Structure 1
Amino acid sequence: MPGMIHTHDKMIESRILTGQIKNVLYDVSAVTAGGQPVYEVAYAGNKYVRNTANVLQKTAERVRARVSNIQTLKAGDCYRIENHVYHEAIVPDDAVTATIVCMHSPSPGPIKVIGLDGYPEHLEFQRIERRAAEYMGFV
């Protein structure tokens, strides 16, 4: 399911090492009709261990997201995202981008993803891991 707008349960501080990224922040409001479904994120184990399944569970919540800020960042730039703020990171299709991220100051509450209608109530997947050298042109 494409669902790029999401939150984190930790403060995010990131530096762009190479390439570029657009960090888009959203104001999100609950709606009773229309909008998009919200999924809550859980993990089947330690989310930082390879091959841990990501689990998305659809909630009864529906929301409408509105762009509140767009930051276009390039190599050397830094950005920060507060806990539980909806955002989307957009990388150009024709670019290689690498960042280093520090996640700290956890706060209670679920991690959320704004989904799309027509997908199952329960989704499970594993993230694909790649070595940086595959994208950076060196070994």
Structure 2
Amino acid sequence: MPGRVHTHDKHVDSRILLGTLTNLQYAVSEVETGAWPLYEAHYHGDRYLKQTTNLLRKTSTRVDLSAGEPARMLAGDSYRIERHTFHEAVPLPGLTTCTLVCMHSPAPGSIKVVGVDGYPDVLSFERSEHPGHLFLRHI
């Protein structure tokens, strides 16, 4: 399911090591009908380990999105996403983008993902693993 607009339960400090991306932050409002379904992430174990079961569960909430001003980031730029802020990081198609991310200062509350209609109420997802040595030359 394409679900690029999401939140984190921690502050996210990020530095672009390679490539470029556009960061978009959204104001989100609940609506009765139409718009987009809202999912919540559930983890059974350490969410960053490959063997952990990661689930998205559709809630009964539907939301409308209003994008703020896009911020284009280039290699060397840094940015912060405050916890529980709806955002989307969009790399340029066909261009490799690598970021170094520090997540800190957790706060209660679920991680949310704005979904798309036509998908199951419960979705399983898996994190991709990439060998760390591929990124060392960019640090």
TM-score (norm 1): 0.92
Deviations 1:52-95 (A, max 9, x none): 22200000000001101211000100000001000001011211
CA contact (8 A) 1:26 1:69 kept: no
For residue 29 of structure 2, what is the aligned residue in structure 1?
29
Q: Aligned partners of 2:96, 2:132: CA distance in 1, in Å? A: 10
> Which 5+ residue runs of structure 2 have no aligned equivalent?
none
Q: Aligned partners of 2:51, 2:81: CA distance in 1, in Å? A: 26
Where in structure 2 are the equivalents of 1:45-84 lying within 5 Å? 45-84=45-84
Q: Aligned partners of 1:83, 1:64: CA distance in 2, in Å? A: 20
Give the letter aligned to residue 87 of structure 1: H
User: RMSD of the alignment, in Å?
Assistant: 1.7
TM-score (norm 2): 0.92
Give the letter aligned to residue 118 of structure 1: G
Q: Aligned partners of 2:132, 2:18: CA distance in 1, in Å? A: 12
Is 2:29 aligned against 1:11? Answer: no
Which consecutive aligned stretches of 4+ in structure 1 deviate over 4 angstroms post-superposition?
A: 132-137
Which shows bigger deviation, 73-82 or 121-130?
A: 121-130
> Which 5+ residue runs of structure 1 have no aligned equivalent?
none
For residue 125 of structure 1, what is the aligned residue in structure 2?
125
Q: Aligned partners of 1:63, 1:123: CA distance in 2, in Å? A: 19
Which shows bigger deviation, 113-122 or 51-60?
A: 51-60
User: Number of aligned pairs?
Assistant: 137
